[in-house]
Each structure stands twice: as C-alpha cells, then as structure tokens.
Amino acid sequence: MKSLLAAIIICLGLSSCTDSHIKDHPDWGSYFTKNGINDACFMLRDHNHDLVHIYNKERCLERFSPASTFKIFNSLVALEVGVAEDDALVLPWDGVHRRPEVDTAMNMRDAFRLSNVGYYQEIARRIGRQNFKHYLDSVKYGNMEMSDSVTQFWLDNSLKISADEQVGFIKKLYFNELPFLERTQNIVKSMMLREDSTTNRLYYKTGTNNLGKDSMIYWVVGYLEHVVPVKEDPKSMNKSGVRNYPYFFALNFTVAGTNSNQNWLDLRISILKQILHDYGAYRND
C-alpha cells in the first residue's frame, strides 16, 4: 500500500507519466557520481511497457534553461510560420566568432546538428516575439516565460523547462501531437536523427548553458527507436516488415564552470548510451 501511494504521489508531479507506472532508480546515480557529477537527473519513458523510470525525481521536476535543446522548438516555429520553407534555408554568418565549424553560412539542418547559436538567433528575430509567445503558450512549453530579448530568452534563464516536461514534449513530437503541421514535426524529427543502424535509431538534441554562480548545465533530450523485423500477416496494414519501439528520455546535470576534469559534452552522450544499453533499449548491431 505504501509503495502504491508513493507512486501516485510521484505521478501527480510528473506531467509525462499519466496512466503509466513509475519506477525510481537510485542506482542510476552511479553513472554520474563515478564521473564526478553529483547534481543530475535522468528520466526514461518506456512507451512499449507503459513505464516511466526516473533517477532523482526532485531534479526531474526542477526547471532549468533549455539551452540549445530549444532549437527543437525554435525549428518547429520557424517551419510552421514560414520563416523557413524547409530545413535547406541558408543564412549567412553574422560575423561573430564562436567556433570555426559554425563561423560560416549554413542551412538549418547543419545549424541544428552543429548547434549554431548565431543561426538560430537570426531565425528567432525573423519569427518575432508574438509568434514565439503564441506557440510557447499553445504547447505549454516549460514556464512559457520570455525576457525582453527575442534572441536570448532561452539562454538568459528566463525560459525554463524540467526534464519531465521535456519528455512529455518529445513524446508529443514523436506522435505528431504538437500544435504544428505533421510535415513540420517530421522535418524536425529528421534533423534530430544522430544514429541509424539496423537495430537502433537514436534522435536527440544537446544543450549547454551557464546558469551563473560558476554553474553549467548539460542537457540531452530525445528518443530511441528500437527496430525489430517482423513477419506481418498478409492482411496487416503494416507493410514495412519492422516494428519501432520508442523510448523517450531527458538527462541533465550541472557541474562547476571551472571544472575541466572531463569532456562534459561527450560524457553526457556516453552516460545516456550506457543507461539505455543497460536498460535493454539500446542494442549493438
């Protein structure tokens, strides 16, 4: 009875777990602590078994700056309102030196993959405050707050979102349930694809931001499709010969900005894959 009550209480706070069973995983903390990370959380929604797995529930409910994970939302709005006809829209370099690989003209697909801040700031200028506010409210994206700067609000800690809300957002994107055209959502999902093999398709967007007081946050949000070949009944509507089993996830952690003991950018992906693999979702070919 006590365990059932605890699960109900947890679920009341988790917007992504409606009608799902919840399982807490304090043991997942070892993936982080062994790498010197003490402030972290991870949420995995196993849609196939209607299960939500969490590490550090309190932090999963805490809102932080979305950082570059907001490029998912930014891309959706740009495509929907016609600022970008498709992912081939090329914008010139704004002349601000950031990283050699982004200090050049490029299209949206490459800007998304390389996390080109300057590109998406120009996209944001073209979208405008009114359009952003409309879709932030329609989607109920995090706290839906915007600062005065249309090119900084997802970076200046005014807009915030929790890992739980990120999972709910990604799940709706996967099933084309967001208030955008299906074409819009499909283009953005295709830009999120980072690994494609015979057994897995891994989609994600990373994000990194300075939270102040010498604190940096690192995000990974997205989903994994496990691909299973099947022999369909001749009368089945599914003619693809495969079944896709989705898992939705959000990971974030904070470390001191002066802490250079690890390559935090790569480590977050490594931790993500370790957890997915040990859970049985991420499989090697």
pLDDT tens figures, 69-108 = 999 999 999 999 999 999 999 999 999 999 999 999 999 9
Least confidently predicted of 3-7, 112-116, 130-134, 189-193: 3-7
How many other CB atoms are found less than 10 A from the CB of residue 236?
10
* Whole-number pLDDT of residue 277: 95
Question: DSSP assignment, residue 55?
Answer: E
- The percent of residues in the chain predicted with pLDDT above 70, rounded, is 88
Task: Please tell me which residue, 259 or 272, carries the higher pLDDT value.
Answer: 272
Task: Please tell me which residue, 258 or 174, carries the higher pLDDT value.
Answer: 174
Q: Span 37-45, mean pLDDT?
A: 97
* Sign, CA torsion 36/259/166/91: negative
Start-end of CATH 3.40.710.10 domains in the chain: 1-60+192-285, 65-161
Q: Span 125-131, mean pLDDT?
A: 98
CA distances from 174 to 6, 78, 225 (A): 29, 18, 10
> Token digits for 199?
């057994």
> Annotated catalytic, 65?
no
**Above 70 in pLDDT, residue 16?**
no
In the CATH hierarchy, which fold is given to the domain comprising 1-60+192-285? Beta-lactamase (3.40.710)
In the CATH hierarchy, which fold is given to the domain comprising 65-161? Beta-lactamase (3.40.710)
* Whole-number pLDDT of residue 8: 44
**Above 60 in pLDDT, residue 9?**
no
Residue 262 sits at the vertex; the CA angle it makes with 274 and 221, to the nearest 5 degrees, is 45
Mean pLDDT across the chain, nearest whole number?
Answer: 91
Under a CB-based contact definition with an 8 Å cutoff, are residues 268 and 69 in contact? Answer: no
CA distances from 251 to 19, 92, 131, 223, 272 (A): 22, 32, 28, 11, 7
Question: What is the model's pTM?
Answer: 0.90
Q: Catalytic: which of 16, 20, 65, 68?
A: 68
Q: Span 119-141, mean pLDDT?
A: 98
**Whole-angstrom distance, CA of residue 23 vs CA of residue 55:** 9
Question: How sure is the predictor about 1, in pLDDT bands with cuts at 50, 70 and 90?
Answer: very low
CA distances from 191 to 48, 167, 184, 185 (A): 24, 18, 11, 10
* Whole-number pLDDT of residue 241: 66
Question: How sure is the predictor about 53, in pLDDT bands with cuts at 50, 70 and 90?
Answer: very high
